[in-house]
Every structure is written in structure tokens, then in C-alpha cells.
Amino acid sequence: MQKRILGKSGLEVSGVGLGCMGMSFGYGPAADEQEMISLLRSAVDLGVTFFDTAEAYGPFTNEELVGKALSPIREQVVIATKFGFHFDANGKQAGLNSRPEHVKEVADASLKRLNIDAIDLFYQHRVDPDVPIEDVAGTVKELIQEGKVRHFGLSEAGVRTIRRAHAVQPVTALQSEYSLWWREPEAEIIPTLEELGIGFVPFSPLGKGFLTGKIDESTSFDSTDFRNTVPRFAPEARKANRALVDLLGSIAQRKNAMPAQIALAWLLAQKPWIVPIPGTTKLHRLQENVAAAFVELTEGDLRDIESAASQIPVQGARYSESAQRMIDR
């Protein structure tokens, strides 16, 4: 697979990474551990070198899974994980916490769970309004100097926060949602990343599964699937948003590809330092996503997508109100 470098950092990763959250958390019951270890190893065999996890996924179990699968082939992969949440005694998420001492504790715990000596990319999972971002960046800088972390990242951070953090410790990558059905980053975020030389790692590049074309208004989700709380996944919104999937389907037919591959190829065509991290628990979906790196969209294809997409207003908010409150502006 083609490789990409995240901004000016020198961190080289596969053009398409793998988001690991859904293997343990978020989209229903956790998948079988041995099957997921096999899937993660298959990803490496297919050329994927960039894997994304977080202490919050589970919590904790996803890091353990990734560690079991990838620590034996550590030299072949880049592992990203995240800090920034507080968990109560029952392991329930209980607000944000990016205080320096907590960040250091999380780093040590993540290193143990992942069974590695250094975290390749350590993201602040959500911006903590109670802790100056300069203190957060300074703490990660110390962890880098200690050899526990190699690169610093932010997730869902706004432009002012990115600039302030970058002035203390260069930010290697921003991870935020970006896809054909969530294009807000194009206004201010992407120009800022380009100016500063920061890579962009879009999560949910397939619209939390919607852009695959396999979800319609009658699809039902497991009771523990977080999409049940997302306004954009309300049945009436799904029905309206099918127009975007139909657009991808028409381009896919022309390119002898799948709708999901067009969605990923579109992202890859935006900037050479963009690396999407679609998640999956299925080998055939993994193979499909990896193959998207080889789908070439011409200038004409991109113009057609842009022209048609601009006529399709996407319905529904992308987060519940409580989740939206954690997004930094």
C-alpha cells in the first residue's frame, strides 16, 4: 500500500489506517477476541501499518486487544492511543481529565496494556476546558523527552487550541470527523493544518457505516450501539441522507468499485497528508477499505462528486447534545 507522511512530522503510515474502537466498544457487544487478533494481523499482511485505539474504548479492553495482536510485530506498525477522560470506580466515563499528573498515569497504563515501550502517537481525546492546552502539550513534551511517547496529537480540537498547543509541542496529527457527510473541517481546520504542517486523520470516514450503503431507515441497531443516540441516524434522517449514498453508488458503478471505496478515495484525494482510519470487524470489509487506496478519482470524477454533493443537504446532527458539548470550538 502507498505510504503517507503526517504533515511535517516525518511519521510515515499506510495511506489507509484501521480504527479499532468497534472491535470492543460503541457499535454493540465486543467481537470475539481471537477473531479480532486475526483481523488485526490480516490488516498488517494487507499493508496497513497505522492502528488507532484509546483507553476509553471498552474502557481499556481495546488497548489490551491491540497489544495482544500487534506487540509481537511491533516494528511493523504505528500505534496511536489517547488520553483525556476520567473513569469512575466502575469503569464508567465520568467527564474529562487532562491534568498533567493524570496524563502521565494514562501513558504508563497504556504502555502496559499495549505491551510496548513507546506510544507512537498520543492524542488528547477531547479538549479539557479546565486545563490550559499549554499544560497538556508541555506534559506530552515531557513524555516525549522521557521516550514514552513519540508524537503528540489532538482530537476534535478547534483552530485556536491547535495553534496554542503547536507552539509548545509540535502537533503531528489532528484526529477529527471528516467525510462526504461531515465537511465542516474544510472551512478552518484543514487550512490551519496545511499552514502548520500537521497531518489529518479522519475518523468515521464512512459516516459511522452509513456511506457503505448497507444502512437504510429500516435498519435496527443493537441496544448498546451509540448510533441510537445520534440524530443523524434517526430513521427520517437516514431516509433523507440516502441521496448521498446514491451519489456514491453512481460513481462507484462508473469506477467498478464499492460506495465505501469512493468515499475513502475522495478523502485521500483531498490532501496528501490525510489518512482515514475506517473501522471494521469483518475481513471482507477490511479488504475493501484497503483496496480503496488504489481507486483513482480523476479531476472529472471529483468535480462530479462535488457538484452533486453540494446539492444534497445532510439531515441531522452528528452527535447527541451531551457529546456535542465536548467538542472544542
Computed over every residue of the chain, the mean pLDDT equals: 97
* pLDDT confidence of residue 57: 98
pLDDT digits (tens, 9 = 90+) for 278-321: 999 999 999 999 999 999 999 999 999 999 999 999 999 999 99
Q: What is the pTM of this model?
A: 0.98
pLDDT band for position 198 (cuts 50, 70, 90):
very high
Measured between alpha carbons, how far is 27 from 206 in angstroms, rounded to an integer?
14
Alpha-helical (H) ranges within the chain are: 33-45, 61-70, 100-114, 133-145, 159-168, 189-196, 235-255, 259-270, 283-291, 299-309, 321-324
Q: Identify the band that residue 329 occupies on the pLDDT scale cut at 50, 70 and 90.
A: confident
Which has the closest alpha carbon to 64: 24, 30, 114, 107? 114
**pLDDT for position 253:** 97
| pLDDT at residue number 229 | 95
Q: What is the pLDDT of residues 218-249, one digit of tens each?
A: 999 999 999 999 999 999 999 999 999 999 99
Class of domain 3-206+271-295: alpha beta
DSSP letters for 56-106? TTTTTHHHHHHHHHHGGGGGG-EEEEEE-EEE-TTS-EEEE---HHHHHHH
* 218: helix, strand or coil: coil
Q: What is the pLDDT of residues 243-261, one digit of tens each?
A: 999 999 999 999 999 999 9
Cα distance between residue 285 and residue 279, in whole Å = 9
Q: Give pLDDT, residue 323.
A: 92
How much is the CA Rg of the chain, to the nearest whole Å? 19
Contacts of 128 (CB under 8 A, 6+ apart): 84, 96, 97, 98, 99, 136
53-96: pLDDT as tens digits: 999 999 999 999 999 999 999 999 999 999 999 999 888 999 99
Separation in Å, CA 90 to CA 28, 66, 86, 173, 194: 19, 22, 11, 32, 42
Q: What percent of the chain has pLDDT over 90?
A: 98
Q: What is the pLDDT of residues 131-144, one digit of tens each?
A: 999 999 999 999 99
In the prediction, which pLDDT does 297 show? 97
Measure the CA angle with vertex 47, ends 180 and 244; round to 5°. 15
Every domain of the chain and the residues it spans = 3-206+271-295
Active site residue 319: no
27, 57, 123, 178: the catalytic one is 57
